[in-house]
Amino acid sequence: MTTPIARQAIDEAIVPAIDDKPQIDHVETYEVEGKHVNHDIVTKSSFEDLPWKKTWVVFRKTALMCIFASFSAAADGFQISMTSNIVANKGFIQTYGTTINAKTGGPALASNILAAWGGIQSAGQGIGMLTQHFVADRLGRKAAFYTLWVSLLIAVALESFGRNWKTWLCAKLFSGFGVGSVQFMTGMYMTELAPAKIRGFLLIFYSAWYGIGQLCSSVALKVMNDKHPFNYLTPIYTEWAMLGLMAIVYFFIPESPFWCANTGRHDQGRAIIKRLNGGIEGYDVDYHYDIIKQSVEKEKSYQKEIDGESHGFIQELRNVKEVFIGVNGFRTLIAFWPACVQQIGGLAVLSSYSSYFAQQAGFGDPFLFSLLLALVAIVCTLVEASLIDLIGRRSLFLIGACTVWVMCMVVGGLGLMANRSSAVNKLVLVFSLFWRLGSTLLGNLGWAYIAEAGSSRLRAKTAGIAAAGGVCLGLVFNTSVPYMLNAANGGANWGLKTAFFFAGISTPFLVASFFLIPDTSRRTAAELDEMFRKKIRPWRFRSYVTDAQKALNEERERNGTM
C-alpha cells in the first residue's frame, strides 16, 4: 500500500485528465518573422521533433557545451568518494584514530566520529541545496557555480593541512556544501540548455562523469594503499587538480537563457541562444528565445494569481511555500521521490560506508570492493544513458527500485548464515554489486527528475528543496549505518542483516512508486508545465499528446509538411 503522504499527494494533485481536445474560445497570436506565436498555448518548435540522431547532429554545439558543463561532476564524484573511502587507509586511521582496536591493539576510528563526519557532510549538502537556489535565481547560475567552487576550495585546504578529527569535520561541512550544490545545480543547468530529445542522455552522461570521478578516486586509493599504505595525503592532494578542472568549466560555460528570460535580461538571453544555436540552418534565434520567454511568463502569471506581485528578496523567501502546495507541491514530491527511494534502499551502505561494509562482510580488500562498485556504477550509467530516451525514465526507475529491494532481501538472507565460507562471501560480493547497480539506476534518474520536474519558473527552488529532502534522509542513514554495522560504542552489530532493515522500510515506497513516477522523457519545459497543470496521471505521461504538439501538427498539416 502507498504511504499516507504519497496517497494524500495523489488525492490532492491528480484528478482525471481533461479531454485531450483543447477547448480554446479565444486565441491571440502574433508573428515573429513569419512564425505564429500563440499566447494561450506555448509554442513547440519543429526542431524538437527531429529524430534522436539528427538532434545530435543539428544541436552538436549545445550538446558539447552540456557535456563540457558535466565535467564538473567528475570532480564532485572524486571528492565525495575520496573523503568517504579514505577512512580505511592505515595512515588516515593512525592520524585520526581516537580509540583502540580490540583485535590489533592499534588505533581505530570511533563509530561516533564516523557518524559525525557522515552526518555533517549530509548537513552541508542540505545547506547548499536549501540556499544555493536563491543565489542561482537572483544572481545567476554562473554565480552559484562560483560560490560552490569556493566552498570546495576551503574543504580541500582543510583536508590537506588539518591533522585533527575536528578539522576533518569542518572540511566535511564545506565539502558537503559544495558537493550538494554541484549535484542539483549542474543537472538543472543542463536541463535549461539541452534539447528535449537528447536531454535524458546528457543528464545520465553527467552521472557517468560522477562515476568516473569515483572510479579515479578508488584507483588512486587502491594504488596508494598497495604501495604506501600509510600515505593518505597524496590522494588528497590530487583533489587540487579537480578544483582546477571545475574552475575552467565554470569560466567558459554561458549563463542560462531561462534565467535571463526570468530576470528580464532578454538581450543577453538571445545572445546566448545565438552563441549556441545561431549557426543552424533555418533556426530563428528570436522565435526560439520567445518560446523560452513565453514559458517563463506563463508560469509567472500563475505565481501572481497566488502571491501577487513580487516585492524583493523577503517576498521571495515567503514564496518558497509555493513549491509545497498544489501542483507545484506534487512536482516537488516527484523530484524528491527517486532520491528518497534510493536512500531508503541502502545507499549509505554502498557509498559512504562501502569500505567499512566490505570489512564487515569479510572481504579481504575493501579498496578493491570500492573499485568494483565504481566500475559497476559506470557500466550501469553508460547502458542507462543509451536507454533512457528510448524506453523512458519511469520504466528504468521501476526496474532499479525492484532490483534494490530484491538484493536487500538476498544480502540480508546471506547475513543469517553463521561462519560464512569464502564462497558465500563471494556471493555476497556479487549480490552487493547488483544492489549497487539498482541503486545507481535510481541515483542517476533521481538527478534527472530533480532537474526536470520543477516548473520553468521554479526549477531552481524545486531542484534545491527536493535534493535537500534526499540529503535529510542521507543525514539520518549516514549517522545511523555505522551503528547498524558495528558492535563498538553500543552498535547493533547487524552486519549483512542491515540489508533487511532497508528492505523492510522501502517496501511501501516501492509500491507507491508505481502510482507516483511519471515519464518526463522527450518533453519540453512547456509540455511538462502543461501536463502537470492538467494533472495528467503519472502513468499516462508517455502517451499523452500535449496542446503544443497538436498545434505543431496542425501547422504542419496547413503547410503540407506532414
Q: What is the DSSP letter of 88?
A: G
Mean pLDDT, the chain, integer: 81
- Using CA atoms, how far apart are residues 187 and 439, in angstroms rounded to an integer? 18
- Using CA atoms, how far apart are residues 130 and 469, in angstroms rounded to an integer? 9
The pLDDT assigned to 491 comes to: 64
What percent of the chain stands above pLDDT 70? 85
The pLDDT assigned to 488 comes to: 59
- Using CA atoms, how far apart are residues 279 and 285, in angstroms rounded to an integer? 10
The pLDDT assigned to 42 comes to: 64
Which residues are CB-neighbours of 508 under 8 A, at least 6 positions away?
1, 2, 3
pLDDT single digits (tens) 192-218: 898 888 888 888 887 778 778 877 887
Can you give the three-state secondary structure of 385-406, one letter per residue? HHHHHHHCHHHHHHHHHHHHHH
pLDDT single digits (tens) 29-72: 333 333 444 445 666 778 888 888 898 899 999 999 998 988 88
Average pLDDT over residues 212-231: 79
Phi, then psi, of 398 in degrees rounded to 5 = -65, -35
The pLDDT assigned to 314 comes to: 60
At 78, is the pLDDT very low, low, confident or very high (cuts 50, 70, 90)? confident
What grid cell was written down for 553? 501538427
Low-confidence winner among 254-268, 361-375, 444-458, 516-530 (lowest mean pLDDT): 361-375
- Using CA atoms, how far apart are residues 334 and 332, in angstroms rounded to an integer? 5
What grid cell was written down for 92? 588516515
- Residue length, the chain? 562
Inter-residue contact 317 to 1 (CB < 8 Å): no
Question: Is pLDDT at 384 greater than 60 in this prediction?
Answer: yes
Average pLDDT over residues 88-101: 77
Average pLDDT over residues 459-465: 86
- The neighbouring-strand residues paired with 100 are 107
Q: What is the DSSP letter of 549?
A: H
AA letter at 294: Q
pLDDT single digits (tens) 12-32: 444 433 333 333 333 333 333
Average pLDDT over residues 538-542: 91
Question: Is pLDDT at 302 greater than 70 in this prediction?
Answer: no
The pLDDT assigned to 13 comes to: 44
At 335, is the pLDDT very low, low, confident or very high (cuts 50, 70, 90)? very high
Mutual angle of helices 165-193 and 459-485, in 10-degree steps: 140
Residue that the C-alpha cell 499523452 belongs to:
544
DSSP H or E segment with residue 479: helix 459-485
What grid cell was written down for 399? 526496474
The pLDDT assigned to 312 comes to: 58
The pLDDT assigned to 21 comes to: 35
What percent of the chain stands above pLDDT 90? 22
- What one-character-per-residue DSSP string does 407-420 give? HHHHHHHHTTSSS-
**97: helix, coil or strand?**
coil
Question: Is pLDDT at 11 greater than 60 in this prediction?
Answer: no
The pLDDT assigned to 35 comes to: 41
Inter-residue contact 502 to 344 (CB < 8 Å): yes
**51: helix, coil or strand?**
coil
- Using CA atoms, how far apart are residues 477 and 482, in angstroms rounded to an integer? 9
The pLDDT assigned to 102 comes to: 66
- Using CA atoms, how far apart are residues 404 and 186, in angstroms rounded to an integer? 26
Q: Which of 145, 177, 155 is nearest to 70 (CA)?
A: 145
Average pLDDT over residues 113-135: 83
The pLDDT assigned to 317 comes to: 64
Kindly report the pTM of this predicted structure. Answer: 0.74
Which residues are CB-neighbours of 557 under 8 A, at least 6 positions away?
none
Mutual angle of helices 498-516 and 393-414, in 10-degree steps: 160
